Structure 1
Amino acid sequence: MMRIVLCMTFLVFTQSAWADGANVSTSAGFAPEQDALPVPPPDGAIVLFDGAGTNRFLSKSGDTVNWPIEQGSLVSARGQSRSNHIVSALHFRDADIHVEFMLPPKGPGNSGIYIHGNYELQILNSQGVKEPEMQHMGAVYGFAKPLVNAALPPGQWQVYDIRYRAPRRNDKLEIVEEGSITAWLNGQLVQKDTRFGEPRSVYHPYRYNTTDYLKKIWERQKKNQTGPVFLQDHDAAVRFRNVWVKPLDERAFFYEP
């Protein structure tokens, strides 16, 4: 049996809910500090992983994750068909998302951040790429290539800060207002007010090698526009640390088996 645990008493909101309406900007006033890593979570942020005992991620089946923790970092572990993703117990609608990561010294270092399971901020060894495309670091995979190539070499800590506004749906579950993403990578703006509608990838977690647990989340998500963030397995031992989410409205809660 699933249970929904409301956690409003644990969340401190410093921004009021955004009003619904077209052309809401996710870039206005969003200039995160990324010069010195790790970046401390701000007031109102919910820590998902800190390497010191807090780990609010679950497996795709809602069980304990099997990604190892090494030297305070959560390391992506290979699974069946490149789909051993992990999913946050925290669900939210609109939010700021912070993820620090390190690519392995060899290989493509392929991974990603699936926001609401549908929209992927790409992680990939893209250093030196002169004209990055939609498969390179900084892209919203399948929707928009990065504005610049901000990728650092493997073996260095890198950082994404993402402001996410979920698509709005009507009672028929049709998108009536596109979502929006603004993203900073390693101190450079890589996405600005990037709009998106229905998911495009056939490989996102709700479609490819999915589970009953994720199917329930997806059905609920379409109705309420609230969902988790995933860290992607794509056969690369990418390291993650200091992962936190700051909800931008009052809809965040924990959803656990």
Structure 2
Amino acid sequence: MHKKTLATAAAVVFSATLFAQSKPEETEVWEPVPTVVTPGKVNTDAPSDAIILFDGKNLDQWASVNDPSQPAKWKVSGGIFTVDKSTGNIQTKRSFNNYQLHIEWRIPGNITGTGQGRGNSGLFLASTGAGDDGYELQILDNYNNKTYVNGQAASVYKQTPPLVNANKKPGEWQVYDVIWTAPKFNADGSLQSPARVTAFFNGVLVQNNTELLGPTQYIGKPSYKKAHGASPIKLQAHGDKSEPISFRNIWIREL
């Protein structure tokens, strides 16, 4: 038999053997079955397995950062709550590792100021101590307000600028949807894997599995200096002179 014919015949036999050993069922995975979760009626509504952090009625899920034994004292009215700069930052009573977070915020329509002094606040994805310690996703009015790009809205503050500027006008509600992967540490306190964040700003991807270099550092370069576990989520009462911002519809899903 001709060599080419032999090669063709061998290929046919090999293909037939391979086909006989491969069935669709061999690559079908049936268990474990995913848990059933009922979505909200619209994407901004909390799904059935979410923890509601603010339902428009009270701040029972929040505490003062200055004294976590004391309740948060920001102002609740009309289904929203507003920063009270005189009482300082607030944080969740619960601590979290990895999660999906939804939060809506609004810059006042009569906002004044420029740069970082224009509706400044911050969403600390993990609070590692008092004051402004933690990992901050910036909240600011950048609809028509120039500042350093790693300090504008949706930046990982002083680390990574947002991919795009997706700000709405002051006075309109804005939305962050965040996937947070907490850092991991070895037994000796050294870093095992860094924190990562994916964030959508008003439905637009602005942080794509971004690796954080450490907790937020206002001056100097960030680094992981101390190990920590599950942490509260914190909202900042920034000291700028502009009108305070408001929040509503906050929920979280632990991952």
**What is the alpha-carbon distance in structure 2 between the residues aligned to residue 97 and residue 111 of structure 1?**
17
Q: Is the 1:175–1:198 contact (alpha carbons within 8 Å) kept by the matching residues of 2? A: no
Q: Is the 2:58–2:76 contact (alpha carbons within 8 Å) kept by the matching residues of 1? A: no
1:54, distance to aligned residue in structure 2 (A):
5.9
Q: For residue 92 of structure 1, what is the aligned residue in structure 2? A: 96
Find the partner of 2:185 among 138, 151, 169. 169
Q: How does 1:59-208 map to 2 (within 5 A)?
A: 59-60=64-65, 61-62=67-68, 63-79=70-86, 84-105=88-109, 106-107=111-112, 108-117=118-127, 118-128=134-144, 133-202=149-218
Is 2:43 the partner of 1:52? no
Runs of 4+ with >2 A deviation:
52-55, 128-132
1:198, distance to aligned residue in structure 2 (A):
2.3
Q: Is the 1:14–1:44 contact (alpha carbons within 8 Å) kept by the matching residues of 2? A: no
Q: Is the 2:150–2:158 contact (alpha carbons within 8 Å) kept by the matching residues of 1? A: yes
Q: For residue 238 of structure 1, what is the aligned residue in structure 2? A: 245
1:187, distance to aligned residue in structure 2 (A):
1.3
Q: Is the 2:107–2:244 contact (alpha carbons within 8 Å) kept by the matching residues of 1? A: yes
Structure 1 residue identity aligned to 2:252: V
TM-score (norm 1): 0.70
Find the partner of 2:230 among 204, 221, 226. 226
Query: Percent of aligned positions with the same letter in both sequences?
Result: 32
**Structure 1 unmatched ranges of 5 or more:** 1-12, 16-31, 204-220, 249-257
Is 2:46 the partner of 1:41? yes
1:65, distance to aligned residue in structure 2 (A):
1.3
**What is the alpha-carbon distance in structure 1 between the residues aligned to residue 124 and residue 198 of structure 2?**
14
Q: Is the 2:105–2:247 contact (alpha carbons within 8 Å) kept by the matching residues of 1? A: yes
Structure 2 residue identity aligned to 1:78: K
**What is the alpha-carbon distance in structure 1 between the residues aligned to residue 147 and residue 82 of structure 2?**
29
Structure 2 residue identity aligned to 1:86: I
Q: Would the alpha carbon gap of residues 68 and 138 (structure 1) be closer, same or farther in structure 2, given more than 3 Å must change? A: same
TM-score (norm 2): 0.71
**What is the alpha-carbon distance in structure 2 between the residues aligned to residue 143 and residue 171 of structure 1?**
27
1:120, distance to aligned residue in structure 2 (A):
0.9
Q: Would the alpha carbon gap of residues 40 and 176 (structure 1) be closer, same or farther in structure 2, given more than 3 Å must change? A: same
1:53, distance to aligned residue in structure 2 (A):
4.2
**Structure 2 unmatched ranges of 5 or more:** 1-33, 113-117, 128-133, 220-225
Structure 2 residue identity aligned to 1:66: K
**What is the alpha-carbon distance in structure 2 between the residues aligned to residue 46 and residue 161 of structure 1?**
15
SS in 1 for 2:85: coil
**What is the alpha-carbon distance in structure 2 between the residues aligned to residue 77 and residue 53 of structure 1?**
15
Structure number, greater radius of gyration: 2
Q: Is the 2:191–2:227 contact (alpha carbons within 8 Å) kept by the matching residues of 1? A: no
Structure 2 residue identity aligned to 1:59: S
Structure 1 residue identity aligned to 2:164: V
Bigger relative contact order, structure 1 or 2 (CA pairs below 8 A, ≥6 apart): 1
How many corresponding residue pairs?
Answer: 198
- List per-residue Cα deviations over 1:207-243 (Å, max 9, x = no partner): xxxxxxxxxxxxxx934x2111001111441100111
